[in-house]
Structures are given as C-alpha cells and as structure tokens.
Structure 1
Amino acid sequence: MFKKALLAGVALSAFLTGSAMAAGVSGDKVVIGVLTDLSGVYTDISGKGSILAAEMAVAEFGGKVLDKPIEILSADHQNKADIAANVAREWIDTKGADVMVDLVNSAAGLAVQGVGKEKGIVTINTGAASVRLTQKECSPTGFHWIYDTYALAHVTPPVIIAEGGNTWFIMTADYAFGHSLEADAMAVVKELGGTVVGSVRHPFPSSDLSSFLLQAQASGAKVIALANAGQDTINSVKQAAEFGIVSGGQKLVALLAFDTDIHSLGLELGQGLTVTTGFYWDLDDETRAFSKKFFDKFGKMPTMVQAAVYSGTLHYLNAVKASGTDEGAVVAAKMRETR
C-alpha cells in the first residue's frame, strides 16, 4: 500500500530500550505541530502543502483518536534553528504539542529533534535530510522519514559513474544538510573508483551563485553535483545554463530535487538534469489517488516532503490508537513495532 510503501524509506533512530506504561491522552486532545518553511527557499517543497497534508491525514483518520479531538498547529521556522527550537518548546509547554512533523531544513530539524528528545515528544523529520538525525544526534522519540543524504548519495552517483561520469565537482549549501550530502556523495564517488576534483560551499540561501559555478566549470570535472535544494538548486541550474556549462559538455546532477523545481525550471532548462526522489505522484494507482485528492485542494501535485507528512502523520495517529496513549516513548515504540 502507498502509506506502507513510503515507510520503506524510513531511517529509524536509536532503538528504544524501554518505557513506562501509560494510558490516556494528555490535555484531552492530541496536538500535531507542523513546523515548516512558509517564507523561504523551501516553501514550495513543504510550506502550506505540508500543512494541508497533515490536515488530510487527520481528516482521513476521522478527526479524533481515542475519542479525543486532534488539533493541528503550524508555524514558519524561517529556516533558523533557534526559531524552530523556541517554537517547539512553546508549543510543548503551553499548547500540549505531542508530535512535530515536516521540519524541513536540517539545522531546524536537528534543533527540534533535540527538543523532542529532551521533552519526550515524537518528532518526524520529513523535510530535513542530514544523517546526523539518525547517527550522532539520534533520539529515542525521533524518526527520519522518506529520504536522507545517505540514501540520496547511494542512488545518483552509482548511475552517473556507470555512465562514465567519473570526475566530480560538488557545489554545496553551507549548512548541516549540504555538509552531510557532500560528505556522503564524496564517499560513494571514491568508493566506486571516481575522483572528486574539488568542491565549494555557497551561502544558504543564495541568489547569486555565479562565482561558485565558474569554479565548478573551471575544474574540468565531467560531473557538477549540486548538494543543495529548493530555490538554491533552481538558481544553480538557471545560472549554469547562462554560463553554458551543460552545453559545454559537463553534466549537471541535482543530488536532491523536487517536482516543483522541475516545473520552475521548465522543460528547456530541466531536460538532461539527473535527479533522485523518494516519491512520485504518478508512480502507481495509490500514489495517483492520493495526489489527485491533494491536487484538488492545493492546485499542485504533492512533493515527497508533503507526501511524507501525510504518511508520517497517519502512522503516528495509528500508533497512538494502538498504544491507548499519546505518551511519546510509548507511541514511538509502537511506531517502530508496526513499521
């Protein structure tokens, strides 16, 4: 099933080693917080669409769990870790938030997962990609949904190298997500016998990437890999075309890209671009059915982040129902048990 298929991309954090039995719903309601990007470079891949996805999951569930109402909170973390952490704390302390979803942007996602670990609250990262979420900074109540930088790096580079693209230059967004994707991609390229001839990190976000692209072009690498996302990726591809990078024989690879990016670029700029995704709306009958419902409400097909918010929210609510409680450690254990 579609919902179960999405779970195949889950990278789970450390195994929960036990929790006290609990029962009932705190505050007589289950509160879901959608912390997302409503004003920055990731608004198209998450944003209002992620809020809608959570609402669709709640509606499909019937609006209640354990005979208690389900409430959705939403806010813009502005791609800033401190704002994300502060909003999460406020929601937990004053509004009884039980779970945080979306959390696009790895810095924000890591910050909120840290708060969730401290407070015993479930966090479901569907937009953040850094493997630190399930490695160095894993949490017993933290989940990494749909994709991460390890998965991305182990899909695209092997294909490109098999086609002869054995010299790489990596252009990286200078924050947690970019660093993680750069490191994972470098490791895979070298493991497969390729060579990383250079890399450069650009500010996040960045509207002018010309100097970084010129360094990539001058490197002579067969492949220029973009370890960025959202508007940064769109800007990279557009400006690469202005410098004739692809027409000059170098291959452009987006290590993380979304349907919305391709639509923004258009066919002329998007053709020939290699991308990796964990969800595609036209994959099968179930993805088409969900995506049509989403499109009817939003006017756009869902990205993999938005589809994962829907999937993760439903999985969380099913675990609450099965556990008989919204206590974070108990629900997290049930989520793992029923994955």
Structure 2
Amino acid sequence: AFGHSLERDAAGVVTANGGKVVGAVRPPFATPDLSSFILQAQASKAKIIGIAAGPPNNMNEIKTAAEFGLLKGGQQMAALLALITDIHSLGLPAAQGLLLTTSFYWDMDDKTREWSKRYFAKMNRMPTMWQAGVYSAVTHYLNAVRAAGSDDPLAVAAKMRETPVEDFFARNGRLRADNLMVHDLVLAQVKSPDESKYPWDYYKILATIKGEDAFGPPDPACPLIKR
C-alpha cells in the first residue's frame, strides 16, 4: 500500500508539471533478486527512474541499479524515500548521483551541524530526517505547554498552531489547521566518492522546495478544515 501510494502521488506531480510516466514495474515485497525489474526500467528509456520504496527495500534497488550501470548509461534515479543512513549503508560508489528529497540534512548550515554533532556524540551516526523531526516536534510541543501554562490538549494544540516552527530542523514551518506541519524541503543529490571530503559528507543541495509547493493545499474534505 505504501509503494502504491508513493507511485500514485509522484505520478500525479509528474503529469501535472508536463512530464510523462512511461511505465511501472512492481516487484513483490522484499524480493531478493531485482535484476529483471531494473532491466525493465532501464529498457524503458525513461529519463528518470523513481524508486517508490522505503528502507531497506530501496537499498537493494539502488545497489542493483548501480551494478547494471544505470546511471552511467545516462538515466537518472530518484528515491521517493531515502534516509542518510541508507546512503551510509550503500556507500557512495553505489549511491552516487541519486536524487532525493529530504526535510533535513545534518551538514546544511550551522544550526543543523550543531544539533547533529550532539546527536552523533551519543549515537555514533548522523541523524536521519525522522530523528531530527521527532526531536523538533517534541520540543515544539513542550514549548507550547510552557507558553500555554497548561497541558490541556486543546490549549496546547492552539498554541502549537499559532507559533511558527523555526529551529534546527524546520525552515518556515507552521502547523496547519489540519495538523500537517508544512515546512521547506530540499532537493539533494548524492555526491561521488571524489566529491565527499569528510565522513557523512554525502549530499549536494540542488534546490529548496517551499512548503506550500511540497505539501500542497489542505484537503477540503478534512473535518478540521471544514470546521
């Protein structure tokens, strides 16, 4: 269900922006040998091949694509969900050139580096966007409890919505009426081994995607929006 959802949403964005979806192949979940599926994607001549899977299945697909020389053949690969720990496990020789969107990269600026180095000191690895996002969300909640002077859920939720989310994790963040936290994302490309200068130096930031563009408008059918 998750893979189908990723495929549907990505295809909608592609076609809305004038692109064309030339096909799709759907390997059974956790299939160890993806050779035939990667070859079908390669033979499609698609300019960009999207991977609609999360870890750990996405790593197998990226690794197999590298073994078949997909990127060297001029095609591009985009992971619809990839974490920096996936890239670390794969290694840059296999993952280099991969496109991905992320809400957090540890080496993006001084605020991300300061928090991530504290995390690394305890965990001995750099944080994923999920781990940074959870820390940010819990902090935002606790600050709202303090500002509201109460832990009453409705009072705290109202305070969370009215307070912008601007910290080491989020840029231009805000909690909408439908409880979705809208914030900027970044488009990144995995560096080649020659481009990486130090441990965990994995991403080149290509562009910033504004939160309104990344998340889209609220669903009018949502009861919270109707209210």
For Structure 1 versus Structure 2, the TM-score category normalised by the shorter chain is: 0.5 to 0.7
The amino acid across from 2:131 in the alignment is Q
Q: CA deviation at 1:249?
A: 2.9
Give the structure 2 partner of residue 229 of structure 1.
Answer: 54
Give the structure 1 partner of residue 88 of structure 2.
Answer: 263
Q: CA deviation at 1:294?
A: 0.3
Tell me the matched-pair count. 164
- Distance in 1, matches of 2:142 and 2:31, equals 38
Give the structure 2 partner of residue 51 of structure 1.
Answer: none
How does 1:306-317 map onto structure 2 within 5 Å? 306-317=131-142
C-alpha offsets along residues 131-171 of structure 1, whole Å, 9 cap, x if unaligned? xxxxxxxxxxxxxxxxxxxxxxxxxxxxxxxxxxxxxxxxx
C-alpha offsets along residues 166-208 of structure 1, whole Å, 9 cap, x if unaligned? xxxxxxxxx23x2332222112211222210111333444433
Residue 44 (structure 2) pairs with residue 219 (structure 1): yes
Give the structure 1 partner of residue 4 of structure 2.
Answer: 179
Residue 44 (structure 2) pairs with residue 210 (structure 1): no
TM-score (norm 2): 0.66
How does 1:1-339 map onto structure 2 within 5 Å? 175-176=1-2, 178-339=3-164
Give unmatched runs, 5+ long, in structure 2. 165-227
- Distance in 2, matches of 1:220 and 1:288, equals 39
- Distance in 2, matches of 1:190 and 1:266, equals 32
- Distance in 1, matches of 2:107 and 2:19, equals 33
The amino acid across from 1:215 in the alignment is Q
The amino acid across from 2:141 in the alignment is Y
SS in 2 for 1:316: helix
The amino acid across from 1:231 in the alignment is P
- Identity across the alignment (%): 60
Give yes or no for contact 2:66–2:95 (8 Å, CA) kept in 1: no
Moved over 3 A (4+): 202-208
- Distance in 1, matches of 2:117 and 2:150, equals 33
With CA pairs under 8 Å and 6+ residues apart, which has the higher RCO, 1 or 2? 1
Q: CA deviation at 1:226?
A: 0.7
The amino acid across from 2:41 in the alignment is A
Kindly tell me: are residues 288 and 218 of structure 1, through their superposed partners in 2, closer, same or farther at Cα, counting changes over 3 Å?
Answer: same
Kindly tell me: are residues 327 and 269 of structure 1, through their superposed partners in 2, closer, same or farther at Cα, counting changes over 3 Å?
Answer: same
Q: CA deviation at 1:330?
A: 2.7
The amino acid across from 1:193 in the alignment is G
Calculate the aligned-residue CA RMSD, in Å.
1.8
- Distance in 2, matches of 1:208 and 1:336, equals 46
The amino acid across from 2:71 in the alignment is V
Give yes or no for contact 2:63–2:95 (8 Å, CA) kept in 1: no
The amino acid across from 1:308 in the alignment is G
Give the structure 2 partner of residue 95 of structure 1.
Answer: none
